[in-house]
Structure 1
Amino acid sequence: MLEPVYQVDVVIVGAGIAGLSAAHRLTSAGITTAVLEAAPCAGGRMSTEKVDGFRLDRIGQLLSTSFPELRLTPGLESLPVRRFAPGVLLHRDGRTHRAGAPAAGGSARGALHAVRALASAPRNPAVAPGRAGAPVGGAVDQARLGAALGRIASTPVERILARPEMPAAQALAQRGVPARTIDGFLRPLLAALLCDPGLSTSSRCADLALRAFASGRLCVPEGGAEMLPELLARALPAGTVHTGVRVTSVSTTSVTTAEHGEIRCRAVLLATDARAAARLLPGLRVPDFHPVTVVHHTTDEPSASFAAGASLLLDADRGGPVAHTAVLSNVDPSRAPAGRVLISSTVLGRPPESVDTAVRIHLSRLYGTSTRRWETLAVHHTPEAVPAMRPPHDLRRPVRLLAGLYVCGDHRDTSTVQGALHSAHRAAAAILTDLGATGSMHRADPAPTLPRAA
């Protein structure tokens, strides 16, 4: 039979980082691709709001320099990242302690050195100058934690995926780690990395998050989260991405849109969030989600006066709504105008009423300073920010639904930027195999012009 006439090889529905990175891999292999996005701009949840010279992320998921896909994804080779200071700061019993990850390479010796409790800036009397009373316990407990971080940094991913699976909170209790270390370091750290305050996440996913933390450095994209989709979109042929296009139905050989009618193709890739994908494909699994609220403040107080410096500050006491906070302009100066300080704080789970007031009260304790004169720049609440990964969780959910119909996104992998990019990598490889284009690596034809609906 003759192949039906088509207008484009692959239609990708959704212009988040998963859809854009898949488009880059396909166009690089000579596959004509059209990316359709219902929103006015690309990026999905990786968006950044601009307010009076500030760059404010809506979700602000933490990245790690150890994420392989940040290095392997075409189009992100030039992504500039800003690193947090090594390890994290932990606020416990009115004092602040530093606890860190192993040095690059995952050596236990590097871990042992980094996990020592250190003093922060000397001006802050609440900083613990020694090891006594540190959140991770005494010297022996610190040595055990350091060795454990060193081991997990060098553990192959395949071995982690073969471990028994249970909720992360249950797994921590069975690891033989002292309770003080769990409550003072591992619980607040994993909650921040997974956006899961209850640690109901699969223990395998939690171990992968710990492995990334122990073998790299926490970081953020310079200029805001939007830099990832912006770089990916910029690397695509002109006219590939079409915003403001609402897809109403999909099949293996076409998509129907409200603006352009039917667009015929050889394959369709759904790269939307899980709920939008299920609306187009009823019966597709929709996970639960972890809500995230990010509150951005500014002050004219000199940034050098903040003892936190360029560190991520966690509340080991869980004495308020803030799970983690940072003077983000110390990490990435491009996020605030000259002479201003940007403090970004994350609330996990359902936020309290009068969230800004509750956050201010909590931050005054965490930073040891008055927050009454701080200006609130934005409060971003995202009810379905991060897909939950409760056990049993398939970290490699199929991306090929049928020949010609594919799906990718963080809901098909791990609920991280790394997971979204990796699922796109898998989907693009499946499409290239099915289209018989695995060996084709030439410049794609010009992006197609979409028709106007009659």
Structure 2
Amino acid sequence: MLEPAYQADVVIVGAGVAGLAAAHRLNSAGVTTVVLEAAPYVGGRMTTEKVDGFRLDRIGQLLSTSYPELRLTPGLDRLALRPFAPGVLVHADGRVHRAGEPAGAGGARGALDAARALVSPPRRVRQIPAAAVPPVSRAFPPLGGALDQARLAAALGRIATVPVERLLARPERPAGRALAARGMPARTVEGFLRPLLAALLCDPDLTTSSRCADLALRAFASGRLCVPEGGADTLPELLASALPPGTVRTGVRVTSVSTTSVTTADHGELRCRAILVATDAHAAAELLPGLRVPPFHQVTVVHHTADEVPLAEPALLLDADRRGPVAHTAVISQVDPTRAPVGRALISSTILGAPPADTDRAVRAQLAALYGTATHRWELLAVHHTPDAVPAMPPPHDLRRPVRLLAGLYVCGDHRDTSTVQGALHSGHRAARALLTDLGVNSAPTATPLTASTAA
């Protein structure tokens, strides 16, 4: 297939998960592919810093075991996922509550049983002394009453089975407005749905398209929140290592592209039959003038370590009270023990936005209330602030933005799909299919098994 005038059939610019996923599809179809990455490492924003035996994600986006592309992407057959405990923990009105487990198959009785579980305190969670927290209203209990909880559990059970096509056919509006219009009690919305969606979408104001929010809720209700074992960078590194040797070339900065060649800063020109730009939105717009750049959500991740484990279960803890900068936190070493040395606890907390002036002090004070323990002896490991962490998806949002710009020139990334790892992988596969069609190559995608490891 390779013509003598060409050095590769396809050149992919960018070694994030979208570009690497596309490279796998193209290589499996017999298309010679070269991936050029300006950074000295692969993964783009999915990077993990290694400090004294700790593995610290820079953004720490949450994955779901229900993401289809994690099972369908070649090269991820060795990916191990570490799931959080079912549902989430919610800190509301000064107490911690378990929430978010869909009702079982037992109909109304199952929903009521789930509701009782939803409002019960989690086991082994250190509670805040009563004198230190505001009184809880008995007339309007945290997260709503038993009937409200039954409705919520049943709603999560239903959305887990709704076909995606039906969700995408719903009227589109900002997610916050959509929640208010769906008849859920205000306490359920503010005490659970809003902090949950803020964590899933990295959007504290819920300006995201309601269709994208529904997809996020569907993924939450039909699977388990999880993280890659060993850190976020495990996923792109697995993809890169499974490609033929020499496919991925790091430290090569592309300065311009055409339909038949790419020009690099220090490595000359590479001729090809087609170009796929798989960088972040800003870099893609520099190479492809006129390409729309979406707004972004800022994310700040603060990592602490402690001698004692402040939460004994591998749970995601949301702050519905919003009395500090942290939106959600977890003892991530309980979810994935490989991220911390033996005998040390790693607590990772996420701020949805820019960090406050005195970040460590503000975060420690809030975590002391959330976990119900003193935090002054915790050691600060890192503060990672990413201004352009997650592309925003305000309505109207096209979940399938074109990946084919013209014959020979293509683009992919989470800014062309949904702003998730699932969206990035899927956009890479859409671009690969468009490329193969234009090159006249037939390829049938095959599914690969996904290794799911349970939390220790």
TM-score normalized with structure 1 length: 0.92
**1:418 is aligned to 2:399:** no
Q: Using a 3 Å threshold, how does the CA distance of structure 1 residues 439 and 48 change in structure 2: closer, same or farther? A: closer
Q: Which secondary structure state, in structure 2, belongs to the residue aligned with residue 140 of structure 1?
A: helix
> Alignment partner for residue 193 of structure 1, among 200, 209, 212?
200
Q: How far, CA to CA, are the matches of 1:108 and 1:114 in structure 2?
A: 10
Q: How far, CA to CA, are the matches of 2:238 and 2:331 in structure 1?
A: 25
**1:248 is aligned to 2:250:** no
Q: How far, CA to CA, are the matches of 2:344 and 2:111 in structure 1?
A: 35
Q: CA RMSD in A?
A: 2.1
Give the letter aligned to residue 124 of structure 1.
R
> Alignment partner for residue 327 of structure 2, among 319, 323, 327?
323
Q: For residue 243 of structure 2, what is the aligned residue in structure 1?
A: 236
Q: For residue 447 of structure 1, what is the aligned residue in structure 2?
A: none
Q: For residue 71 of structure 2, what is the aligned residue in structure 1?
A: 71
- Equivalent residue runs for 1:9-408 within 5 Å: 9-102=9-102, 113-115=113-115, 116-121=118-123, 124-126=126-128, 134-301=141-308, 303=309, 306-307=310-311, 309-408=313-412
Give the letter aligned to residue 202 of structure 1.
S
Q: How far, CA to CA, are the matches of 1:441 and 1:217 in structure 2?
A: 25
Give the letter aligned to residue 433 of structure 1.
T
Q: Using a 3 Å threshold, how does the CA distance of structure 1 residues 6 and 122 change in structure 2: closer, same or farther? A: closer
Q: How far, CA to CA, are the matches of 1:118 and 1:127 in structure 2?
A: 17
Could you report, residue by residue, the CA deviation over 1:274-294 in whole angstroms, capped at 9, with x for unpaired residues? 000000011100000000000
Q: Is the 8 A contact 1:70 1:418 kept in 2?
A: yes
**Identical pairs, percent:** 75
Q: Which moved more, 1:231-240 or 1:255-264?
A: 255-264
Could you report, residue by residue, the CA deviation over 1:98-121 in whole angstroms, capped at 9, with x for unpaired residues? 002327999887665445222223
Q: For residue 448 of structure 1, what is the aligned residue in structure 2?
A: none
* Residue 93 (structure 1) shift: 1.1
Q: For residue 449 of structure 1, what is the aligned residue in structure 2?
A: none
Q: How far, CA to CA, are the matches of 2:137 and 2:162 in structure 1?
A: 28
Q: Which secondary structure state, in structure 2, belongs to the residue aligned with residue 245 of structure 1?
A: coil
Q: Using a 3 Å threshold, how does the CA distance of structure 1 residues 114 and 337 change in structure 2: closer, same or farther? A: farther
Q: Using a 3 Å threshold, how does the CA distance of structure 1 residues 51 and 95 change in structure 2: closer, same or farther? A: same
Q: How far, CA to CA, are the matches of 1:47 and 1:109 in structure 2?
A: 45
Q: Which secondary structure state, in structure 2, belongs to the residue aligned with residue 365 of structure 1?
A: helix
Q: How far, CA to CA, are the matches of 2:363 and 2:109 in structure 1?
A: 38
* Residue 122 (structure 1) shift: 5.2
Q: How far, CA to CA, are the matches of 1:27 and 1:123 in structure 2?
A: 49
Q: For residue 450 of structure 2, what is the aligned residue in structure 1?
A: none
Q: Is the 8 A contact 1:320 1:362 kept in 2?
A: yes
* Residue 30 (structure 1) shift: 0.5
Q: Which secondary structure state, in structure 2, belongs to the residue aligned with residue 230 of structure 1?
A: helix
Q: Using a 3 Å threshold, how does the CA distance of structure 1 residues 10 and 134 change in structure 2: closer, same or farther? A: farther
**1:432 is aligned to 2:432:** no
Q: Is the 8 A contact 2:112 2:147 kept in 1?
A: no
Gaps of 5+ in 2: 131-135, 447-456
Q: Is the 8 A contact 1:117 1:131 kept in 2?
A: no
Q: Is the 8 A contact 1:107 1:150 kept in 2?
A: no
* Residue 6 (structure 1) shift: 1.0
Q: Using a 3 Å threshold, how does the CA distance of structure 1 residues 262 and 219 change in structure 2: closer, same or farther? A: same
Q: Is the 8 A contact 2:197 2:213 kept in 1?
A: yes
Q: Is the 8 A contact 1:101 1:111 kept in 2?
A: no
Give the letter aligned to residue 126 of structure 2.
N
* Residue 19 (structure 1) shift: 0.6
Q: Is the 8 A contact 2:86 2:224 kept in 1?
A: yes
Could you report, residue by residue, the CA deviation over 1:362-384 in whole angstroms, capped at 9, with x for unpaired residues? 10110111111100001000000
* Residue 311 (structure 1) shift: 0.4
Could you report, residue by residue, the CA deviation over 1:281-310 in whole angstroms, capped at 9, with x for unpaired residues? 111000000000000000111x2xx34621
Q: Is the 8 A contact 1:23 1:33 kept in 2?
A: yes
Give the letter aligned to residue 92 of structure 2.
R
Give the letter aligned to residue 348 of structure 2.
S
Q: Is the 8 A contact 1:105 1:154 kept in 2?
A: no
Q: Which moved more, 1:130-139 or 1:320-329?
A: 130-139
Give the letter aligned to residue 155 of structure 2.
A
Give the letter aligned to residue 335 of structure 1.
R
TM-score normalized with structure 2 length: 0.92
Q: Which moved more, 1:257-266 or 1:238-247?
A: 257-266
Q: Using a 3 Å threshold, how does the CA distance of structure 1 residues 308 and 347 change in structure 2: closer, same or farther? A: farther
